[in-house]
Amino acid sequence: MTDQGRGSPPAVREHTDPDGDGGTGEQSAETGAATGTAAGTEISGHYIVCGGNSLAHRLILELTEQYEVPVVVVVPDSSREHGPAIRQIPGVAAVLEHSTVTGEALGAAGVERARGVALMDGTDQENIHAALAAENRNPGIRIVLRIYNQRLGEHLEKLLPNCAALSGSATAAPAFTNGALARPHTVEVGGRHLYVAYDEDIRSNQICLVADRIDRQDLTRLRLLPETGGRAADFIRIAERFGSGEGPIVLGRPADPAPADRGGLAALQPLETPPPLRPPLAKRLKWWLLDGLKYFTNTRLRMILITAFAAIAVGAAVLARHSTHPGGFGWTLYFTLLDAAGAVQPDIPGQQVLGDSWARAAQVLITFCGITFVPVATAIVVEALASGRRGAPRPPGARTRDHVIVVGLGNVGTRVATLIHGSGLPVVCLERDPSARGIAAARALGIPVLIGDGPLEAQLKQARVKHARAVVAVTSDDAANLEAALEARAVRPEVRIVVRLFDDDFAHHVYATLGNVASRSVSYLAAPAFAAALMGREVLGTLSVFRHVLLIAELTVEEGTALADQNIGDLEREGGVRVLAVRLQRRAEVYQWNFADRSRRLLPGDRIVIAATRAGLARVIQ
């Protein structure tokens, strides 16, 4: 069984959490009904999860399958959203229905005897109120809440030291952004930026093997952090795969392989300096000029201006050739500008003349074209300054090339658009709901936003998909995201596509069918971090290995824990865990990467940085 959400119902869509980190949608009236065990009277030492959305669903799977702890769930309506799927999860002790998470709801869930509570639904204000209510009923209880305003979350964490305020969209957005930019998603550890490299991108400075048997047509064969007999096994496997004394080995066809060992490899390695993302300055200036011209003028005015400018240029060339003035190019430009401005000096018989008849004809042409050019240019400037047009939403213009199109402006889409805009690349956003919260944020950054219910194909063409670098579809509907991917491919087959998909089976079919499409799940990326925070562990970040999740965590060895008195070889032997670096108690500031002494026992106070699957992390921290 692969490490990707076992037990998850195959046909549940992420259709009720439109922005991945926001509200709960329509809620039923509070019923107080419960299914399963009477949570408030019989269970203790359990964890409470409040919410019925996709992230709550994934979190419950993490807690019941990977950490094997009892869970009581509070949902607004067990018949809507992911409620029916949550009720079917083995290990859920009870499912309670309450429209809002009040003190009464927490009491019914047994918060006084619970070890932790996760608040996954509701607004920031509602979750903060629920967190304070839980703290009042059970001081010291571990609290994890989903919050959009991260600054507010930082203040709350200072107020409640046992609280972790996380954002699902902020956790997942970098993975979507890096997927669109075709650059690796990284996690910073001790000054190094670690990422997952595949096959021919694996370099000699890689840290460890993280996956093998990778078959893009059948990702169920992929093994994440497989068992190892020792630290050298990873390096031997990569060396045998990619080269020997007799030369490199062809990818996918190692020497005398067993059938089960065929497939690609993935390794964890530090990132070198990434290539520049922005187009060259000359191209940006050209596109900016064309964009400005199209923005301030219509087609008829542009034709008049171009014709007048071309005539002035021709006149200047004639003037330079037939003028008798010895001043050269500088004087020619001087006379041309004066003539265009209407300050022409006519030739008078008996006085010094500018040139022959050709030069005089050029003067007349420049003067009359200037009469047209100058008033039109003046009108454009006056209209731009006086009419307030500068504040109007800007459609994609000529300089919108090599850009990224973001479909959907919920919380995730807004964060993705902001991250891409911050990298210096142009962004265009598509949104069907005119009241979406991300529209104002995108326009405040100067990002063009196309709104409407028209055909998606027409909207993508208006967004200039034929010139786009990538399309990121992050709506709440799997089918809508796939439609955006297919429409974009129909216009430009080579465009890079990143889609948000909740259903694992659906994502596998997408991987197998569409070669240049990468899929991500907000809940799948964020849930492990929420679960680890609920268990009181520090997860530095998550990395994607296709649809699998690799957790990068830093753990402190404490007396009486599973880590105490074990060595690194013991931790890695069963698979699911790789020790990346060790920080010894006596030298806590030094990260010792690929710690050489694999048999040294870990002592209380030591810290280790690990890469782990969800099951591997659960095994280590028990």
Contact (CB, 8 A) for 470 and 497: yes
CB 58 within 8 A of CB 504: no
Q: Tell me the one-letter amino acid at 226.
A: P
Q: Residues 540-589: pLDDT tens digits? A: 888 888 767 888 888 888 887 777 778 888 888 888 889 999 998 888 78
Least confident of 16-30, 276-290, 593-607: 16-30
Q: How confident is the model at residue 47 (pLDDT cuts 50, 70, 90)?
A: very high
pLDDT score recorded for residue 97: 92
With bands split at pLDDT 50, 70 and 90, how would you rate the model's confidence at 296?
A: low
At residue 106, the pLDDT reads 93
Could you report the per-residue pLDDT of 160-178, keeping only the tens digit for each? 888 999 888 888 888 888 8
Confidence of residue 254 (pLDDT cuts 50, 70, 90): very low
Span 261-282, mean pLDDT?
Answer: 70
Q: How far apart are CA 292 and CA 414, in angstroms?
A: 26
Taking all residues of the chain, what is their mean pLDDT, rounded to a whole number?
A: 76
- Between 212 and 24, the higher pLDDT residue: 212
CB 562 within 8 A of CB 53: no
Q: Which of 569, 610, 619 is nearest to 233 (CA)?
A: 569
Q: Kindly give the residue spans of alpha helices, DSSP state H, lying in 70-167.
A: 83-87, 103-108, 124-137, 150-159
Q: What percent of the chain has pLDDT over 90?
A: 14
**Cβ(131)–Cβ(163) under 8 Å?**
yes
Return the domain boundaries, the chain. Answer: 34-166, 174-270, 281-391, 525-621
Tell me the C-alpha distance between 433 and 449, whole Å: 11
Q: Encoding tokens for residue 162?
A: 């046992």
Task: Let me know if the fold of 281-391 is the same as that of 525-621.
Answer: no
Write the pLDDT tens digit of every residue in 343-367: 656 554 544 555 567 776 777 777 7
- CATH 1.10.287 assigned to 281-391: yes
Mean pLDDT computed over 521-525: 81
* pLDDT reported for residue 101: 92
**CATH superfamily, with its number, for domain 525-621:** Regulator of K+ conductance, C-terminal domain (3.30.70.1450)
Of 81-85, 107-111, 289-293, least confident by mean pLDDT is 289-293
Q: What is the pLDDT of residue 622?
A: 64
Q: What is the pLDDT of residue 44?
A: 84
pLDDT at 385: 61
Cβ-based neighbours of 603, under 8 Å, separated by 6 or more? 557, 564, 585
| pTM of the predicted model as reported, rounded to 2 decimal places | 0.64
**Residue 334: φ, ψ to 5°:** -65, -50
pLDDT at 544: 80
**214 Cβ contact list (under 8 Å, min separation 6):** 198, 221, 222, 263, 264, 265, 266, 546
Instruction: Give the pLDDT of residue 131.
Output: 93
Pair 203, 196: CB distance under 8 Å: no
Residue 374 pLDDT > 90, yes or no? no
Task: Enumerate residues 6+ apart whose C-beta is below 8 A from 323.
Answer: 331, 332, 335, 354, 355, 359
Which range has the worst mean pLDDT, 69-83, 107-121, 246-260?
A: 246-260
> Once rounded to an integer, what is the mean pLDDT over residues 501-519?
73
Confidence of residue 59 (pLDDT cuts 50, 70, 90): very high
- For 63-96, how does the pLDDT look when each residue is reduced to its tens digit (9 = 90+)? 988 788 899 999 998 888 888 999 999 889 999 9
What's the CATH class of domain 34-166?
alpha beta
pLDDT at 247: 40
